[in-house]
């Protein structure tokens, strides 16, 4: 299976971002991708953290969701839509949500980000809970014999999220659409991605924001696809681009047979 992770440097304008995403999805389709993964906040990197509230959509309706369904259908790909802001019952919060569409444009999975990022060092501060409501459920979907687990960005730091997705049956591929900060990404991004691949004996496809945004924020980028032995198959450091790699079920089976760590897990009952 060919998988494409799409790296963007999204702007504060939704229409501009959708046009850029569409062009990159077209490239992914030309390169043979079965599944394409957009980055977190692909549709908007606002000038302020509250801008996302102004473009939030009700589930099942709105221009961003219509774009994703239409793009999946036009390009003939499975499409994991990075993350988009969906409405909650709270007027000052959104859900940060991945929606997955099949090549006919049908919604096949939804995941609301569970872990909300917070970081402060000198003048650099992030607190997603100021504008985002936390999701509660894990989510996965099946694609041509592959079981695919969903996560978003900060979830990467919580191995129990990925273990929960692989219990009782393992996921074969994890998606990690992200907008890692430059500060944290430089030290931790690849380390954490490779750890999640190795400990779960699974492929990891991580699509990222990667560059200097108009709001002044700098994201780390380094979108990459990693195999179940922890090898980086393909990567792009900064700037817009499409990273494609081939995922192999035989490779997955060989790794899991030679190192049957998933079968050796001990369940602690407390």
Question: Catalytic residue among 43, 153, 238, 240, which?
Answer: 153
Question: Catalytic residue among 40, 57, 128, 240, which?
Answer: 40
CB 174 within 8 A of CB 186: no
Listed in sequence order, the DSSP H helices in the chain are 14-30, 51-54, 63-75, 159-165, 182-200, 249-258
CB 82 within 8 A of CB 100: no
Question: Catalytic residue among 27, 57, 113, 171, which?
Answer: 113
Q: Which two tokens stand for residue 196?
A: 């999640």
H or E stretch at 107: strand 107-112
Confirm whether 238 is a catalytic residue: no
Confirm whether 106 is a catalytic residue: no
CB 102 within 8 A of CB 80: no
Residue 101 DSSP code: E
Confirm whether 186 is a catalytic residue: no
Q: Determine the Cα–Cα distance for residues 215 and 72; give it in Å rounded to an integer.
A: 29
Where do we find the tokens 């999805």? 25
Hey, which residues are catalytic here?
A: 40, 113, 153
């Amino acid at each position: 299976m060919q998988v494409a992770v799409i790296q963007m440097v999204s702007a504060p304008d939704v229409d501009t971002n959708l046009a850029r995403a569409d062009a990159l999805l077209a490239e992914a389709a030309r390169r043979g991708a079965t599944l394409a993964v957009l980055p977190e906040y692909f549709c908007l990197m606002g000038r302020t953290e509250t801008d996302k509230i102004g473009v939030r959509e009700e589930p099942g309706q709105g221009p961003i969701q219509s774009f994703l369904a239409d793009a999946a259908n036009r390009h003939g790909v499975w499409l994991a839509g990075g993350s988009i802001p969906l409405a909650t019952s709270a007027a000052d919060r959104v859900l940060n949500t991945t929606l997955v569409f099949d090549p006919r444009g049908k919604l096949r999975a939804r995941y609301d980000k569970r872990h909300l990022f917070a970081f402060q060092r000198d003048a650099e501060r992030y607190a997603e809970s100021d504008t985002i409501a936390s999701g509660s459920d894990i989510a996965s979907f099946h694609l041509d014999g592959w079981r695919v687990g969903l996560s978003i960005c900060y979830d990467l730091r919580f191995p129990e999220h990925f273990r929960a997705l692989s219990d009782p049956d393992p996921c074969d591929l994890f998606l990690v659409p992200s907008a890692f900060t430059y500060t944290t990404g430089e030290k931790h991004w690849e380390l954490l991605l490779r750890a999640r691949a190795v400990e779960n004996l699974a492929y990891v496809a991580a699509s990222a924001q990667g560059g200097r945004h108009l709001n002044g924020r700098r994201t780390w980028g380094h979108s990459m696809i990693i195999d179940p032995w922890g090898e980086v198959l393909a990567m792009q450091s900064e700037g817009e681009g499409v990273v494609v790699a081939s995922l192999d079920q035989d490779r997955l089976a060989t790794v899991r047979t030679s190192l049957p760590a998933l079968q050796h897990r001990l369940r602690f009952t407390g």
